[in-house]
């Protein structure tokens, strides 16, 4: 078979998990990630690829430092911009593929000279978060340096539209999905709510880029390969750091999976010790091939596991000096092994640079006395890159019931499920939120939700979101305040205390993972703003004058506004629009004015009484799709009552929530 013409072959540099900024403050390893990133760009330019495809985690931190951002921008500008023509043609709608402010692919922008475009999804390290759901890739996209795609607008109903590219006879449909919490995405796949739009004909090479757990960590904490559709030709799988870049066929379908792995070791584990590669993929029509390209700027990494008792040492007779001497000899052998590997690589490729190696010696020390690992590494300064982390002592695990320990619940379950899959001495992978929930199992929180507190701590730790816990506390306080304001008029002091306790404890009853959906906080909003009606009802109970009842509604409405001002769940995963706040906001506040005016019948079902709040509130609240969103709605939801004719003169229309539609008796608006 004749070789295809280059004008019909689409050439792509493939890489994942660059982790720019990792260990940037380390004087020895601080530039490792940036050096490897530059080498990847150099090799892409040398091989004259048409584009670069990144599978997530370009940055190690969710909020990379200015030093890291500047270095990344400088390298992209240096290697990706220029007068080199780009032979690819975009056939799909850029407004759908790149829904940013400019809605265009960067190499077709007449204001920029892009010679080697970069396409990237986000990973779990650099995923969107905070106000506006933005991430570091949005900055690079706004500067037109990369083409950022694969951001899902809804996690419960995902529709992926491909980027359609053509070069000569080759047509490629590029699908991408940025990192989503594995349990959430797993459930979305089970509910058959992940849809991939396909071109009408079958001439397209279908390529999918994903950044999720591929290895099973628990029942739902991964994405099974058979979840993915059969029409895909190749899947580029990011997030897993072990390099398995050679495409492997799936057992159940004619689809190949390539796992490039990370370009830098971010942990001292066995999976990171394998040689690091990037790939150059060439596609001609429906055929492809992947060429492994070794990276010469990756620091050598040698890892070894020893059992002291198996090495002839007696735990009852061996002294600390004997153990230290034996381990020192082992470390020297590992340094010599790293030196030999470098010499062999240098012979193959003269571009290899000598660097201090990473050394990891895992020591099973059951029955032996251990010593300071940092002090052990002092003699190896300037000889290895991690002198303080050479040794890792561990002991044989004892079989015991984890649920009897203090850290129980979800954390114990995760640890039990993880047993047997981790190397000796490695701690089971437990999420921050599971640990927090486990520690709080024996506690009784009155206001804060355990699930939301765990999620706030996770965002504080993993995403460096310093406002996460503060936002949670403010949100829960305002939610509880709204619940107290909307208690029944005949509630006594005990009812107030019970309401406060209920507002914080209802969240604790939901122990199911991800018991959530596309819910709108309309009940929370209406309860927050429904105090106008409550004020009127209270005034009626005290048998005050009509004017007094109206002013009571106005004051209640003001309180409702304060309670609902921050009612949106700060840990909502999606930013959908909500129409409930504007409608509920008209329930109170206007009662004072309406009491002295002639009552009239609202002209429609959605029209209510007076309003002290503008319609801008309609867009201020978002869908709560967090783990316990259903509980949050239930806990402050006012009981439905029979609708009554409003006496206040309305000043606008609103869509009233179905769960708490009612009108105040005196001057209060419809809720």
pLDDT at 166 > cutoff 90: yes
Beta-bridge partners for 653: 607
| Separation between Cα atoms, residue 640 and residue 628, nearest integer Å | 22
Q: What is the pLDDT of residue 432?
A: 59
How far apart (Å, rounded) are the C-alpha atoms in residues 69 and 48?
A: 26
Domain spans of the chain, in order of start: 6-294, 301-394, 456-487+508-660
Q: What percent of the chain has pLDDT over 90?
A: 45
Confidence bin at 303 (pLDDT 50/70/90): very high
183 or 416, greater pLDDT: 183
Residues annotated as part of the active site: 125
Residue 247, pLDDT > 90, answer yes
Q: Which of residues 233 and 408 earns the better pLDDT score?
A: 233
* pLDDT confidence bin for 661, thresholds 50/70/90: very low
Query: Where in 310-398 does DSSP place strands (E)?
Result: 358-364, 391-394
CATH topology of domain 301-394: Translation Initiation Factor IF3 (3.30.110)
Of the candidate ranges 144-158, 250-264, 406-420, the one whose mean pLDDT is the lowest:
406-420
Question: Do 500 and 447 form a contact (C-beta atoms < 8 A)?
Answer: yes
Q: What is the pLDDT of residues 275-285, one digit of tens each?
A: 999 999 999 99
Nearest to 535 by CA among 550, 553, 557: 553
pLDDT at 405: 39
Does 619 score more than 60 pLDDT? no
371 burial class (0-12, 13-18, 19+ CB within 10 angstroms)? middle
Question: 247-258 as b/e, with b when 16 or more CB fall inside 10 Å?
Answer: beeeeeeebbbb
CB neighbourhood size of 614 (10 A): 10
- Lowest-confidence segment of 193-197, 434-438, 646-650 by average pLDDT: 646-650
Q: Is the pLDDT of residue 96 over 60?
A: yes
CA distances from 117 to 1, 11, 45, 191 (A): 31, 12, 11, 36
> What pLDDT score does 637 carry?
42
Per-residue confidence (pLDDT) for residue 307, from 0 to 100: 92
Specify whether the CB–CB gap between 126 and 137 falls below 8 A: yes
> Poorest-confidence range of 526-530, 550-554, 586-590, 630-634?
526-530
The C-alpha angle 555, 560, 561, rounded to 5 degrees, equals 100
CA dist., res. 212 & res. 247, Å (int) = 17
Answer yes or no: are the C-beta atoms of 580 and 654 closer than 8 Å: no
As a CATH number, domain 6-294 is: 3.60.21.10
Average pLDDT score over residue span 416-442: 52
pLDDT of residue 316: 85
pTM: 0.65
pLDDT band of residue 129 (cuts 50, 70, 90) is confident
């Amino acid at each position: 078979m004749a070789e295809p013409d280059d004008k019909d072959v689409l050439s792509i540099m493939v890489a994942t998990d660059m982790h720019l900024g990792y260990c940037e403050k380390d004087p020895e390893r601080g530039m490792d990630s940036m050096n490897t990133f530059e080498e990847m760009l150099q090799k892409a330019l040398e091989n004259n690829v048409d584009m670069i495809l990144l599978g997530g985690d370009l940055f190690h931190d969710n909020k990379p430092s200015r030093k890291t951002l500047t270095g990344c921008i400088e390298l992209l500008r240096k290697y990706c911009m220029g007068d080199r023509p780009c032979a690819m043609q975009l056939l799909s709608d850029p407004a759908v593929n790149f829904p940013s402010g400019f809605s265009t692919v960067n190499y077709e922008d007449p204001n920029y000279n892009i010679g080697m475009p970069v396409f990237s999804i986000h990973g779990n390290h650099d995923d969107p978060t905070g106000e506006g759901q933005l991430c570091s890739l949005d900055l690079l996209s706004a500067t037109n340096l990369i083409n950022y795609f694969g951001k899902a607008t809804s996690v419960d109903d995902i529709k992926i539209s491909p980027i359609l590219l053509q070069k000569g006879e080759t047509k490629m449909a590029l699908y991408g999905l940025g990192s989503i919490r594995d349990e959430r995405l797993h459930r979305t796949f089970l509910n058959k709510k992940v849809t991939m739009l396909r071109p009408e004909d079958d001439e397209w090479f279908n390529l999918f880029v994903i950044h999720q757990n591929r290895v099973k960590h628990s029942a739902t904490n991964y994405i099974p390969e058979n979840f993915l559709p059969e029409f895909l030709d190749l899947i580029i799988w990011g997030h897993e750091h072990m390099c398995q870049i050679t495409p492997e066929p799936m057992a159940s379908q004619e689809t190949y999976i390539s796992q490039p792995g990370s370009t830098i070791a971010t942990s001292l584990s066995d999976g990171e010790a394998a040689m690091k590669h990037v790939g150059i993929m060439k596609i001609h029509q429906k055929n492809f091939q992947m060429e492994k390209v070794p990276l010469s700027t990756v620091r050598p990494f040698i890892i070894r596991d020893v059992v002291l008792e198996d090495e002839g040492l007696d735990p009852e007779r061996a002294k600390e000096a004997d153990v230290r001497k034996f381990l020192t000899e082992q470390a020297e052998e590992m340094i010599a092994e790293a030196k030999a590997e470098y010499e062999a690589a240098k012979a193959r490729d003269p571009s290899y640079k000598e660097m201090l190696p990473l050394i990891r010696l895992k020591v099973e020390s059951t029955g032996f006395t251990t010593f300071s690992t940092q002090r052990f590494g002092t003699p190896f300064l300037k000889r290895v890159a991690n002198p303080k982390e050479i040794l890792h002592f561990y002991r044989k695990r004892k079989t015991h019931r984890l649920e009897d320990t203090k850290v129980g619940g979800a954390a114990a379950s995760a640890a039990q499920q993880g047993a047997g899959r981790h190397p000796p001495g490695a701690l089971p992978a437990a999420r921050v939120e599971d640990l927090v929930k486990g520690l709080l199992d024996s506690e009784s929180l009155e206001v804060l939700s355990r699930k939301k507190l765990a999620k706030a701590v996770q965002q504080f730790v993993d995403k460096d979101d310093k406002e996460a816990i503060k936002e949670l506390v403010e949100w829960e306080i305002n939610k509880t305040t709204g619940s107290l304001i909307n208690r029944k008029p005949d509630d006594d002091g005990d009812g107030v205390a019970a309401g406060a306790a209920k507002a914080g404890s209802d969240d604790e009853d939901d122990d199911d993972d991800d018991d959530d959906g596309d819910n709108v906080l309309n009940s929370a909003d209406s309860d927050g703003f429904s105090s106008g009606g409550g004020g009127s009802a209270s005034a009626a109970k005290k048998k005050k004058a009509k004017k007094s009842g109206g002013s009571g509604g106005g004051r209640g409405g003001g309180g409702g506004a304060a309670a609902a001002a921050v009612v949106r769940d700060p840990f909502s995963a999606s930013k959908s629009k909500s129409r409930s706040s504007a409608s509920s906001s008209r329930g109170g506040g206007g009662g004072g004015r309406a009491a002295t005016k002639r009552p009239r019948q609202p002209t429609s079902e959605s029209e209510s009484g007076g309003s002290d709040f503008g319609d801008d509130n309609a867009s201020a609240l978002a869908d709560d799709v967090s783990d316990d969103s259903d509980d949050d709605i239930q806990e402050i939801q006012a009981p439905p009552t029979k609708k009554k004719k409003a006496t206040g003169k309305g000043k606008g229309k609103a869509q009233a929530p179905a769960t708490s539609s009612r009108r105040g008796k005196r001057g209060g608006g419809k809720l």
